[in-house]
Amino acid sequence: MSKQKKESFFWTSYADLMTSLFFVMLVLFVLTIALLHKKIVEINNIVVETQEQLNKIKEIENATNNIDSAYFEYREKYKKHILKIEAQFETNEFAENQIINKQSISKLINAGYSIRDSINSITSKFPAIQYLLIIEGQASKDKAADKHNYELSYKRAYTLKKIWDNASINFGSNCEILISGSGTGGTMRESIEGNNQRFLIHIVPKPGIIEASKQ
């Protein structure tokens, strides 16, 4: 084979190789663009869904925070409601008949109805969401031991639960009620110790509300 023919054959093969490589690169480029576009669409969908979920969470939070202000005062810093009703107990007392202002019992019952109505209102829009209704009792720092104050605050919270039970207030099957006593601890306390003989209310959507709200 002559030198000229060898060179012609080489350049022909080289051109075919470059053409093949070009088509391979072109296919890879198109494939990459398609995959990137698919990923961008997926990310955009996630962003939209996440924003929708955040909006739902915000709406639920606002609804649980805006319980009737006639009975509750919401403290944003602590994410808790204070029962504004004067239902303070005598020192070392927790029974219903030891509440200073006897007329406050009817107000406490109305406050329970207010919580029930708020939860029902949210449930009508988000029926799959579950709640924790936490009744927290507090105690003032007095001569009683701290251990006794924790027990005392729990019994005070349980007294409020019994008042609502006696009034047949049903918070619904999607609301779990927890009784707690923070005693003389916790961060949400008043400088006047007597004012710490009170109730705090938490209404907390249970974990998993994002998935539940999609249903």
Name 81's bridge partners: 74, 201
Domain count, the chain: 1
- E-assigned strand segments in the chain: 72-75, 80-83, 131-138, 175-183, 199-205
Query: How far is 49 from 210, CA to CA, in rounded Å?
Result: 10
Give the mean model confidence (pLDDT) for residues 154-161: 89
pLDDT tens-digit series, residues 107-153:
889 889 988 988 888 888 878 788 888 898 888 876 655 567 888 88
Q: Does residue 28 sit within a domain?
A: no
Q: Does residue 20 sit within a domain?
A: no
Look up residue 63 and give its amino acid.
Answer: A
Q: Does residue 25 sit within a domain?
A: no
Q: Does residue 42 sit within a domain?
A: no
Q: Does residue 93 sit within a domain?
A: yes
DSSP letter for 195, please: G
Q: Does residue 57 sit within a domain?
A: no
Query: How far is 148 from 94, CA to CA, in rounded Å?
Result: 12
Q: Does residue 60 sit within a domain?
A: no
Residue 67 has pLDDT above 60, yes or no: yes
| Global model pTM greater than 0.85 | no
Residue 44 has pLDDT above 50, yes or no: yes
Give the mean model confidence (pLDDT) for residues 165-194: 84
The whole domain housing 115 covers 66-213
Look up residue 154 and give its amino acid.
Answer: Y
Residue 174 sits in a domain of what CATH number?
A: 3.30.1330.60
Per-residue CA distances from 76 to 73, 110, 117 (Å): 10, 23, 21
Residue 169 has pLDDT above 90, yes or no: yes
Q: Does residue 95 sit within a domain?
A: yes
Q: Are strands 131-138 and 80-83 parallel, antiparallel or unpaired?
A: unpaired
Residue 205 has pLDDT above 90, yes or no: no
